[in-house]
Amino acid sequence: MRALLVAAAAALALSVAAASAATPARGCPAAWLKGWQALANKVGAPVYCPKQMPNPLDAKIGGRYADIYSIGKDRSYLVSFLEHGDLGSGDVHVNFRGYPGRSAVPKCPAPVGHGTTPCFSNPVAHLSANGIRATVYQVNQGADQWHILLAWHYHGTLYAVSEHVIPPYRYSTQVRHNLTLLLKSLVLVQPKR
């Protein structure tokens, strides 16, 4: 009887190990993981990879929809995905940002005159999903201009994801719905040392 229990426990342990190794759906999709892992390693901080994106985008860094891939000297990053909709479908544009070790909203050049202005402003609501409580910003600068943006903190780092409000997602309710789905799908990718 004891040998049977030991064998059953060993089989269960093997099946749990195999299941956890074979469930990339819980984490960053396998086709996208390499790019997000490389980003986490370069900035030396966790990054958020989405498990889904607004149609027709994917989140493969360096892939068909890659737009901007920028890492600053301060390790802040902007990763952007864009489809122009050349066949009349309109633009779909999503940005991911991270500011390792910084929690304050960054400053951007002021649109008129001199000086700076907060890059994210006019907070209008909060969205909670996936253990994240994000602030919804409606007035944003730089690459996030004309976007609705979600910003949140994790372990002393400010993160953001935004989507452009433009056809085919003309109304802010559609974009906010897309951002809610994105927020629910985010998974952390930890840097490897």
95 within a domain of the structure (yes/no)? yes
27 within a domain of the structure (yes/no)? no
18 within a domain of the structure (yes/no)? no
49 within a domain of the structure (yes/no)? yes
114 within a domain of the structure (yes/no)? yes
What pLDDT does 86 receive? 64
Between CA 170 and CA 180 the distance in angstroms is 16
Greater model confidence, 16 or 27 = 27
What is the domain range of residue 161? 43-189
40-54 core/surface letters (b: 16 or more CB in 10 A; e: else): beebebbbbbbbebb
**Count of structural domains, the chain:** 1
What pLDDT does 26 receive? 67
Can you give the pTM of this predicted structure? 0.84
